Amino acid sequence: MRLTRLGLLFFISLICCGLSLRCAHHTTVSAEKCSSEKLELELNGLFGQPQFANAHWGVAIRSLETGQVLYQHNADKGFMPASNMKLFTTAAALIKLGPEFHYQTDILALGQIDSLGVLHGDLVVRGSGDPSISGRYTDGDITAVFRHWADSLRVRNIRRISGRVVGDDSFFDNEILGNGWSWDYQSDYYAAQISALSFNENCVDLLFLPGDSVGALTHCRLEPNTTYVTVENRVVTGAADSESEIYLQRQRGGNQVVCTGTLSISEDEKRDWVTVEDPTLYTATVLRQVLEESGIRVDGEAAVIEALGDVADGAKKPQLLFTHHSPPLNELIRTINKVSQNLFAELLFRTTARWIGGAGNAKTAEKAEKEIFAEMGIPPQFVVLADGSGLSRLNLVTPNSVVQLLTYLRRHAYGELFYSSLPVAGEDGTLAKRMIGTAAQKNVRAKTGYIGRVRALSGYVTTKDGEELAFSMIANNYTVPTSLVNHVQDTVCERLANFSR
């Protein structure tokens, strides 16, 4: 039976009132123990509501000052964490790579450059997993980085490329999707394909404007404006009071996109995203186009190689022209944790594997990261790392493992950077609209997580007494609306923010 917010608060007040009377009549019970017992009863009531009878809750709450466990429920059971997996991915990378780590993308000439500015051979772009080549860090200007590269080529007196623009993604193994990802994710931006050479988060943006009249087809354009993707636009213009719903479906194994649905005539331009097949070739294709638009002629087509040795020979030694550097890791992990960006997490997962394990794949990443977590006091058998983002339903963690990770990081030299990467309740990221007007607002810093029938929230909260707590709340297999799970998690955070010994 669904409890209303008023009913839930009344239920909690009855528990508190009853326990307060019991504590008042047992003077041997300390005030601190009474407060802890009261909290335990309240939380048992919240997680034990009848509407969650067929669901599984895993909860752990621990004081960072004393190490005391304030509450736990199924805390050593395995749960699908959804995007709480990003806590593990970003923590491992921050510790092993350091906050000032930068990705490097090398631009190489495979041939000689003559006095007329002709590169007699291919231009090669060798990636190392940089997720940031997009408009995210250039005020929405998607191709700004590529235009900067064109300027750098002209500075080196390159006016024409007689060969191709070639993408090299060999830094990672060929794993285009995470282990256990659902087949029907393929078109969705949150399941973009994985490549060591990525551009625009391996998506193309589609922008829709209402047509001239109700029933007319909408106007649709692409950013970047590329022929790499073809679009069949079936989205029609709806009435002013109609709801806008647009669906994008990319043909499996190709780059043909069918757009259906409606867009209200009263809407402004609406932006959506769809993934691309073969991100490496996509990167090379758009770069070639930008070079042409910038006045650098390219005779050959865009292409992909498995490794630079596939095209180099004795007569053509690769010459490094320049190297592009990403923003530092401490900025990238803010993107991962604040807005829960999956592709960034998957690339970072494999980056950590490549740098400390020697191979850029998920299996190596799991092995390497489990060794890091063991140093934190997390038993390796208590975590299963199928991917780096949490999109896979094969991931498993325990709430106690999450809290142990949070506890360790809070005391680490990079702990403040990790802490500041988390969404702030009622303020930003995936918590911007939650806990507003409560004691938890601007107090709680926590990572959300969601996949079908999975909702997680783990992070930090400071009590009324100024005591900092680490917590993890994970719900699996619930069948009620996710908003009700959110409500319980938010209520718990509010209660912890108001907790006093």
What average pLDDT values come out for the chain (501 residues) when binned by 10 residues? 46 46 44 82 98 98 97 98 98 98 98 97 98 98 98 98 98 97 96 98 98 98 98 98 97 97 97 98 98 98 84 74 98 98 98 97 98 98 98 98 98 98 98 98 98 98 98 98 98 98 89
What topology is assigned to 104-178+278-327 in CATH? D-tyrosyl-trna(Tyr) Deacylase; Chain: A; (3.50.80)
> How far apart, in whole angstroms, are the C-alpha atoms of residue 476 and residue 466?
31
Q: Please work out, in degrees rounded to the nearest 5, the angle formed at the alpha carbon of residue 419 by the alpha carbons of 413 and 424.
A: 165
Report the candidate in 170, 94, 131, 82 with the shortest Cα–Cα distance to residue 345: 131
- Whether the CB-CB separation of 274 and 257 falls below 8 Å is answered with yes
- Helical spans, DSSP H, in 188-253: none
Residue with tokens 């609306």: 481
- Helical spans, DSSP H, in 102-161: 144-155
Q: Angle at which helices 329-339 and 85-97 pack, to 10 degrees?
A: 170
pTM score, whole prediction: 0.93
What are the domain boundaries of the chain? 54-99+330-497, 104-178+278-327
- Whether the CB-CB separation of 163 and 363 falls below 8 Å is answered with no
Q: How many CA atoms lie within 13 A of 404 on its CB side?
A: 18
Which pLDDT does position 307 carry in this prediction? 72
54-99+330-497 against 104-178+278-327: fold identical: no
Q: Which CATH class for the 54-99+330-497 domain?
A: alpha beta
- Whether the CB-CB separation of 349 and 362 falls below 8 Å is answered with yes
* β-bridge mates for residue 420, sequence order: none
- Whether the CB-CB separation of 58 and 75 falls below 8 Å is answered with yes
Which pLDDT does position 28 carry in this prediction? 37
As a residue count, the chain comes to 501
